[in-house]
Amino acid sequence: MPGVDKDLRSIQEARDLAGQAFAAWKQWASASQEQVDRVCAAMAEVAFAASTRLGIQAYEETGFGVPEHKRLKNEVASRNVWESIKDIKTVGIIGHNPEKKIYDIAWPMGVIAALTPSTNPTSTVMFKILVSVKARDAIVIAPHPSAAKCCFETTQIMAQAAEANGAPKGLISCMQNISLEGTQALMRHKYLALILATGGTPMVRAAHSTGKPAIGVGPGNVPAYVDRSADLVKAARYIVASKAFDCSTICATEQAVVADQPIARQLAALMQQEGAYFTDPHQTQLLRKLLFHPDGSMNIATVGKPAEYVAEMAGFEVPSGTRILVTRLEKTGKEEPLSREKLTTVLGWYEEEGWEAGCDRCIALIEFGGRGHSLIIHATDQKVIMAFGLEKPVFRIAVNTMGTLGAVGVTTGVLPSMTLGAGGVGGSITGDNISTQHLFNIKRLAYELSPPPDAAMVSGRPNAGLSAQEIEQVVRSVVEEILKTG
């Protein structure tokens, strides 16, 4: 549309794609389980095959992270996600309770608007398309502007595979003309059933403010507590590797180590052997000024960048091969910017005496910026592990593993997902790792188990000629019958 403003083109594209998706969904809603699984299997296969190419494209377009790590995330979001959902029934009767005479019947949501971040663009697109189509939903991707091309390419590859295997055209699409106005038009469209938003706090708030049902997940501020009972060699190796993974662009990446005092010095030495560089007070102050603006917002220029690059931006040198920068901190909250989530290769460091004090520090970090999200604990003392599991206001507690890969289900048994719920305390509708079962409704066919109470069959005529006392007695008997039958 030459001569038309970008925001108007974006709004019109959103309307067109939503309309096409709704028309396609009306066909797809009656697809059989075999048809659904054939389409999803084909999409997972082509996405997995393109993981390397799309990882490179995502890196080149956004400038974030590590191409090889993006390849791995793409493989997880295609193959691992599909393996985790392929046997889930999403069509027709999916459950039956003979004793209660209830049948559970799957019913798709409809058209989903999927907002995706620039930090994990292609992998999030793969994941959201698979879990949505498996649930018999249509999906329109609304990518972050700085990752629009790689997201569109990923969507096209999967849409073509879907259509070649029987899915209707328009079921899967991606916006190309990206603007705030266009994304809002999509989220508010009359045909839209659900918003699935993954990204920063402003995006998630926007999704929840539309009046449409929304599953919104935002930032984490993940602490890693290392207890005196931990395997320190393993903990050091995992923490450094996890923080360096894709330059800390996954929301479940460790943001601060909370080290038990007796093992703190040894843990620091082991982490240095793995490529961690502990900054001095002057360098730490330089990082405070570099990573965050005075209002607390993140300096986007530092996001997803290698440690040596970040150090150079801050104005100091580090040894070649440095993988992460570790800053010794004492405070938590607004007065300490580095206690915030840092989507780059900078890690906070706290030392506390005993697991109880470590627990308090972890809660302070979580409350400051990661309520409901995730926590990592390295320990072998089961009492300490369970205390953390029971007391922390988060919904993923990963034990003796990498935060990045553990929380998303690569190294643990939780559902593989690129969208991690933070529960009510974190402003989300659920604390689960989002998957296909969150994207369809269940209706229930319920047969009568017992006849209604006699009192319920009393004539509904006004007063029915009864006195006030008689009416009161009828009401009382109805209540008694209801209580008796449960």
Residue 298 gets which letter from DSSP?
Answer: B
Question: What DSSP string runs through 107-161?
Answer: EE--EEEEEE-SSSHHHHHHHHHHHHHHTT-EEEEEE-GGGHHHHHHHHHHHHHH
* HEC secondary structure over 50-61: CHHHHHHHHHHH
H-assigned helices in 213-306: 232-244, 261-273, 281-291
CB distance 21 to 111 below 8 Å: yes
For residue 410, the one-letter residue type is V
Distance CA(421)–CA(216), nearest Å, equals 7
Task: Indicate the length of the chain as a whole number.
Answer: 486
Give the CA count within 13 Å in the CB-facing half-sphere of 366. Answer: 28
Distance CA(302)–CA(234), nearest Å, equals 28
Q: Is 457 exposed, middle or buried (0-12, 13-18, 19+ CB in 10 A)?
A: exposed
**Active-site annotation holder among 40, 150, 151, 251:** 251
Token pair in block for residue 155: 């969507």
**In Å, what is the CA distance from 334 to each residue of 112, 319, 337, 368?**
36, 31, 6, 8
For residue 366, the one-letter residue type is I
Token pair in block for residue 306: 């290698």
Q: At 23, which helix (H) or strand (E)?
A: helix 6-28
H-assigned helices in 292-370: 307-314, 354-369
Give the SS3 label for residue 2. coil
Distance CA(166)–CA(290), nearest Å, equals 51
* Closest of 257, 443, 411, 267 to residue 348, by C-alpha: 257
Distance CA(414)–CA(429), nearest Å, equals 18
Give the number of other Cβ atoms within 10 Å of residue 351's Cβ. 21
Give counts: helices (H), strands (E), the chain: 17, 15
CA dihedral 411, 71, 138, 84 (to 10 degrees): -20
Distance CA(441)–CA(105), nearest Å, equals 8
Give the number of other Cβ atoms within 10 Å of residue 424's Cβ. 13
Residue 251 bears catalytic tag: yes
Catalytically annotated residues? 251
